[in-house]
Chains A and B, each alone.
Chain A
Amino acid sequence: MEFQITQKAKRNIYLLLGIGLVLTLIGVVTGMDSHHFATRLLTNGLIDTFFFFAMGLGALFFLALAYATETGWYASVKRIIEAVAGYLPYGMGLMGLVLLIITLMDGAHVYQWMDPEVVAHDDIIQGKTAYLNPVFFWIRTLIYFAVYFIFLRGFKKRSLEEDKIGGTELHFMNYKKGALFLVFFAVFSSTSSWDWLMSIDVHWFSTLFGWYTFAGMWCTTMVVLIMVTLYLKKLGYLEKVNDSHIHDLGKWAFATSFLWSYLWFSQFMLIWYANIGEEVSYFQMRIDNYKLLYFGMFIINFAFPMLILMSRDAKRHAGILTFIGLIILGGHWLDVYIMVTAGSLGPAAHIGLLEIGMALTALGIFILVILRNLTKAPLTPVNHPFLDESIHHEI
């Protein structure tokens, strides 16, 4: 059965986009005269485009992981993963646009190392210019985008081909390509998070940062996969997906929440323990200006999933999963929000209509793209070699 976007869903998405745009407009008009307005607008652009881009990338990673490990159970939800990964080109376009504007404005107080005047008076940034300079930054960014795009296109093409011809040849091709993607991703997930997010706090560095960003991204991806699966189940599609698949997706959300919390805590504790001035400045900024949000966000992203998703029944209950999913999505949006604003706007940052409006607009685009992607292929792959195993999945 092919998926069709319902009239109700279309109406709601356009409503969401409308509300988002109106709020953004009000935010722009009321905030235009304030001192940091351009920076505020661009940080918001970076937050929202990165947040949703990361989910698309997380889905691509999860797909590659499933191919490389020859996973069986996921076969009946594979098309959902592909649909979410299919947001990547849009995400790359939007984020590329924001990065381009920031570059053209000499960093716009977001990336201080892009501003030649700041660099001229800053010895620490001067020591990093071999890596952090606009030209090399764009070379890296374009390489990431190109590699992600090529792999995504290959996975999609072979997935649709498999529907027609079947057999194991394509499967083993995917297996190889999946493993190769993981090799690239292992390096790129770290370096790209340094480039796009860590370089905002340009004087500071942490080797855990890449994993920390990656864990947050993976967690939100799993939540989105759960929500899309539940939505399609509710509409009566995906009759091959049973409780066990949803339970497994729930387990991933639970486990990746822990992974994220573990890395957040490790980074925090190691820096707290060593107590070196150039490292603690990162947390000092956050504790001075974002105390409630920063620790509140940690509690939300750690304690809620732990307490609520612990039991087996909760991971099979659509209502509980949706509730906790929305909380996790909000919590991780806050995480990205603090990552970006603390180093750029600092004490001047606050969540107003502009922030909410832009986030809602980006969410609307994200949902619209995913639902459109879902209509383009049969919801259950026809000839996946592990489809039979997936149908009989029971835990």
Chain B
Amino acid sequence: MSDKVIYVMYDDDGVLKDGAKKLVSKGVKIADTFSPFPIHGIDPIIGVKNTRLGIMAFLFGLTGLTLATIGMRFFMIEDWPMNIGGKPSFSYLENILSFVPISFEFTVMCAAHGMAITYLLKNKTLPGMPAQNPDPRTTDDKFVMEIRTAENSIEEKELDKLIKDTGFIEIDKKTI
């Protein structure tokens, strides 16, 4: 028996969610869902792990903070000592208040850009990359559930029977 991918299409996110609940309770493993907008509450149902993007954001932010500090120290204190607000102490620590806004802005910029780029890379959705979703209609008003037979111990026929009860509008199978 060859491995197959089953794409089940719905025209309502609520129906897909209820269907997914029903399938999961019968022990079916759902690989992924595709939708034009985030379906609230689908993650715990199909068992999507918590994202680690937050950790990346923290690391990017830390990088930004470090870069900003090193940069400002070099520009304003070492390379060309600046008279900051009439306080010519030529010390980074004693003038640290005036460096806070830039540190903050650069931290935010690095965290935001780093997060966006990481997200696009991880999802393989950088501009110009081939589309990952199985059907262009999932970017419009349709919702697709992806089930892989290789990940399920249930027979394909049995799977078909279970899927039938979920109120889908279209079903598509592909051999991989």
Contact = CB atoms under 8 A, between A and B. Distances in A.
B127 interface: no
B87 interface: yes
A269 B41 CA distance: 44
Contacts of B40: 394-395
Contacts of A273: 85, 97-98
B97 A268 contact: yes
Nearest to A266: B101
A269 B87 contact: no
A275 B86 contact: yes
Interface string A359-395: 0000000000000000000000000000000000011
Interface residues of B, number: 9
A273 B84 CA distance: 8
A275 B97 contact: no
B87 A394 contact: no
Interface string B32-53: 0000000011000000000000
Contacts of B86: 275
A159 B101 CA distance: 43
B15 interface: no
A16 to B, nearest CB: 40
**B interface majority secondary structure:** mixed
B126 interface: no
A265 interface: yes
A275 B85 CA distance: 8
Contacts of A235: none
Contacts of A268: 97
A278 to B, nearest CB: 16
A265 B86 CA distance: 20
A183 interface: no
B100 interface: yes
B56 to A, nearest CB: 15
Interface in B94-151: 97-98, 100-101
A130 interface: no
Interface in B16-73: 40-41
A11 B100 CA distance: 49
A269 B40 CA distance: 42
Interface in A270-311: 272-275
A268 B97 CA distance: 9
B87 A265 contact: no
A395 B39 CA distance: 10
Interface string A172-209: 00000000000000000000000000000000000000
A274 B85 contact: yes
Contacts of A269: 97-98, 100-101
B102 to A, nearest CB: 12
Nearest to A265: B100
Contacts of B87: 275
Nearest to B50: A312
Nearest to B97: A269
Nearest to A395: B40
Nearest to A393: B40
A269 B99 CA distance: 10
Contact of A394 (B41, B85, B97, B98): B41
A395 B86 CA distance: 50
Contacts of A265: 100
Interface in A245-282: 265, 268-269, 272-275
Contacts of A394: 40-41
B7 to A, nearest CB: 26
A85 to B, nearest CB: 30
Contacts of B97: 268-269, 272-273
Nearest to B58: A310
A372 to B, nearest CB: 37
A140 B73 CA distance: 49
A282 to B, nearest CB: 16
A272 B86 CA distance: 11
Contacts of B100: 265, 269
Interface string B80-94: 000001110000000
A394 B101 CA distance: 35
Nearest to B86: A275
B111 to A, nearest CB: 13
B58 to A, nearest CB: 9
B73 to A, nearest CB: 18
A390 B41 CA distance: 15
Contacts of B85: 272-275
Nearest to A311: B54
Contacts of B41: 394
Contacts of A274: 85
A268 B100 CA distance: 12
Contacts of B101: 269
A47 to B, nearest CB: 28
A151 B45 CA distance: 45
Those 8 A-B pairs whose CB atoms lie nearest each other, nearest first: A273-B85, A394-B40, A269-B97, A394-B41, A272-B97, A275-B86, A273-B98, A275-B85
Given A273-B97, A274-B85, A394-B40, 4 more contacts: A269-B100, A269-B101, A273-B85, A275-B87
9 contacts: A265-B100, A268-B97, A269-B98, A272-B97, A273-B85, A274-B85, A275-B86, A275-B87, A395-B40
